[in-house]
Amino acid sequence: MTTVESILSRYREPLENFPLELAADWKKRHADKKLVGCYPVYHPVDLIHAAGMVPVGVIGGGNRLEIAHADSRFQSFVCSIVKSTLELGLTGRLDFLDGIVFHSICDPARNLGSVFKRNFPKLMVDYIHFPQNMTSPYTIDYLASEYLRLKTSYEALTGRPIKDDDLRRSIALFNEQRRLLRELYAIRAEQPENLSTVESYVLLRIGTLMPPEEHIPILKEALADIRARKEKPKDRIKVVLEGSFCEQPPLELIESLEAAGCYILDDDFLLGWRWFLEDIATDGDPLRNLANGYLRQSVYSGVKHDTREPKAKHLIDKVRETGAAAALILSAKFCEPALFDYALYKRALEKEGIPHLFLEFEEKMWIFDKARTEIETFVESMLFD
């Protein structure tokens, strides 16, 4: 039986070294399959799958990748993931991909899409403009048409049409995967002593690097293992973590946050891979269902600007609903959306009297002492308050 422990010993190291090698290895074993890279945050992966291809999360280069070429293309004040992604491309490490898609999450990521197009003419490079008008009744038509455009690109890439039923089946499959991930997160929120954040992170992250058909059984066995755990809660403060929805912090950093004395009840790591609060409908027009899911059934995030409700309200609700005592804002260095959100979060958290700590990270970061000290001090101040 697959245990969480065995999963970690199998995957942890590759995830720390070069996460994408897991997908590249998979491709070696399935030479006939096409793979499409998905830049964060969210991508309708169901569409890629319905086309008979495998969606791959291109979520940075991990914390061992040396940046030697990309920093002459993107300036020092641009976040790491933009540079590491380009570096991966320039050093041939993305050659196993047939396509890659970028999204309207921020200006650097958007320009990166163009830079990819120019530098890798053989790669299919596409771009989704996700709508930022969440109130207009016409937005759904727009987004469905955007998905249709993308569907046509995927059809051109594989040379075969995507039938509605194919897409419905893929949606159902991803619904199952997302349901299991929600369960994983529910355990973290309710019994954090039974599942560490690093464990749940690895379980989630490997799903971005293999087909859902392989990920789902792993998740199921892991969940069975976790459900049997009966750990004693430690004397730790409970927090929710926010701000890491795109570039990912090193595993070691996540680990040291917990080791410093926190239970992280909820976070926004790899947010796009568990984007929906509930299942996407599998009857009716599947493109419209996906569009509807984006507009009405998705989580809040730093890259979705929904005027229907203040963004900070969601964070406050999350703190309240999980029963956390504090918020940890962990933002990628130079990540404009996360840094802007922090100003709103800070204001709201202070108003609500919820303590918080703000930390910045880079995916390629070696020294965690400073972060560790800061979090330890914070935890102490809360425990002995």
Partner 1 sequence: MEPPMAQTADTAKTSYQGQMHLLQKEIMGRYFERVTRAAEQGDGKAVFMLISGNPVELVHAFDMIPVYPEIDALQLAVKKAALPFIQKAEELGYSMDNCAYVKADVGLFLGGRKTPFATIPLPSLILCNYVGCNVYLQWFEHLAEYCDGKIYNLDIPFMRDPSGKPSPEDIAYVVHQLEEVIAICEELTGKKLDWDKLKRIVALSGETGELWAKIKSLTKHIPSPFDNYFDSVTMMAPLYCLRGTEDGLKFFQTALREMEEKVQMGSGPLPEERFRFVIEGPPPWPYLRTFRDLFAKWGAVAVASTYSTVGGLWEFGFKHDPNRPLESIAEHMLQWNVTNRNFLQRYEQIRRYIQEWSADALVIHSVKSCRLFSAGQGDMREYFTKELGIPTLLIESDLEDPRYFSEAQIKNRIDAFFESLEHRKLTHKTQAAGATL
Contacted entry of ligand SF4, partner 1, none for residue 133, CB cut-off 5 to 8 Å set by kind = partner 1
Position among 77, 121, 159, 366 found at the interface with partner 1 (CB under 8 A): 77
Position among 342, 361, 368, 378 found at the interface with partner 1 (CB under 8 A): 342
Task: Look up tokens 């991990």; give the residue.
Answer: 62
- Cβ atoms 85, 39 nearer than 8 A: yes
Angle at 45 between CA 55 and CA 284, to 5 degrees: 145
Helix (H) or strand (E) holding 98, with range, is none
Cβ atoms < 10 Å from Cβ of 126:
18
Contacted entry of partner 1, ligand SF4, none for residue 113, CB cut-off 5 to 8 Å set by kind = partner 1
C-beta closer to partner 1: residue 16 or 336: 336
72-80 contacts, C-beta under 8 A, 24 or more apart: 73/115, 74/108, 74/112, 77/334, 78/108, 78/334, 79/108, 79/246, 79/247, 79/332, 79/333, 79/334, 79/335, 80/247, 80/332, 80/333, 80/334, 80/362, 80/363, 80/364
- Cβ atoms 100, 124 nearer than 8 A: yes
Options 44-52, 103-111, 159-167, 217-225: segment touching partner 1 (CB under 8 A): 103-111
Distance CA 86, CA 94 (A): 9
C-beta closer to ligand SF4: residue 119 or 373: 119
* Subset of 121-140 contacting partner 1 (CB under 8 A): 126-129, 131-136, 138-139
Instruction: Give rounded-to-5 percent helix, strand, coil for the chain.
Output: 55, 10, 35
Structure tokens at 215: 């990920």
C-beta closer to partner 1: residue 203 or 290: 290
Binding flag, residue 373, partner 1 (CB under 8 A): no
Binding flag, residue 347, partner 1 (CB under 8 A): yes
Binding flag, residue 104, partner 1 (CB under 8 A): yes
Binding flag, residue 91, partner 1 (CB under 8 A): no
C-beta closer to partner 1: residue 179 or 288: 288
Position among 105, 123, 219, 379 found at the interface with partner 1 (CB under 8 A): 105
Binding flag, residue 361, partner 1 (CB under 8 A): no
Q: How far is the CB of 228 from ligand SF4 (least distance, A)?
A: 37
Contacted entry of ligand SF4, partner 1, none for residue 332, CB cut-off 5 to 8 Å set by kind = ligand SF4
Our measurement of the distance from residue 113's CA atom to the centroid of its chain's CA atoms, rounded to an integer in Å, reads 18
| Total chain residues near partner 1 (CB under 8 A) | 58
